[in-house]
């Protein structure tokens, strides 16, 4: 469990995570509204040399060009749809050649890769608690 006391620390956590990421990596980030999911994504982007990462809430998915492209997805608008898996497939995400971070990524997103980092942000207290669960052989033994 990682304790995050400020927006700057959440951003920095994203930068730290980016140092471990390679093409094909998938991060599923969950937490309530205002937890810091987009700040974490901005930090990952910054660590990859990308500026201007904003929430793709209304466009659902945004691809940022870099040496390794960064795909930032926000599924908030799809979580109450009848078949979120179908909409996720329609996005036609090229995750094999990119680093992909999905906000509000549930079970349907987990099917995209057997190797992923599942990140949960708890903001039930003033200080956020971030739990990173490595899944699959790619992340065996991973910790920050």
Q: Report domain extents, the chain.
A: 2-138
Tell me the two tokens of residue 59: 């466009």
pTM of structure: 0.88
Q: What is the pLDDT of residue 144?
A: 87
Q: Tell me, what's the pLDDT at 110? A: 81
Q: Which residues, 6+ apart, have CB-to-CB distance to 106 below 8 Å?
A: 28, 30, 75, 79, 84
> CA 108, CA 113: separation in Å to the nearest integer?
10
pLDDT, tens only, 119-135: 999 998 889 999 999 99
Q: What is the pLDDT of residue 104?
A: 80
CATH number of 2-138: 3.40.50.300
Q: What are the pLDDT digits (tens) for 24-61?
A: 999 999 999 889 999 999 999 999 999 888 776 655 66
pLDDT in tens, 77-113: 555 556 555 455 656 677 789 999 998 887 777 887 8
Cα–Cα distance, 44 to 38 (Å, whole number): 10
124-136 in b/e burial notation, b at 16+ Cβ within 10 A?
Answer: eeeebebebeebe
44 secondary structure, DSSP code = H
């Amino acid at each position: 469990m990682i304790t995050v006391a400020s927006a700057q620390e959440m951003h920095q956590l994203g930068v730290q995570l980016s140092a471990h990421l390679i093409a094909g990596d998938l991060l599923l980030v969950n937490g309530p509204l205002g937890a810091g999911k987009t700040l974490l994504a901005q930090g990952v982007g910054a660590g990859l040399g990308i500026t201007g990462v904003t929430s793709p809430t209304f466009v659902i998915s945004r691809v940022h060009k870099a040496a390794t492209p960064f795909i930032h997805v926000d599924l908030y608008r799809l979580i109450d749809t009848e078949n979120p898996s179908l909409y996720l497939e329609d996005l036609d995400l090229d995750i094999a050649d990119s680093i992909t971070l999905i906000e509000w990524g549930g079970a349907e997103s987990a099917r995209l890769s057997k190797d992923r980092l599942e990140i949960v942000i708890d903001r039930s207290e003033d200080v956020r608690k971030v739990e990173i669960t490595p899944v699959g052989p790619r992340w065996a033994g991973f910790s920050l």
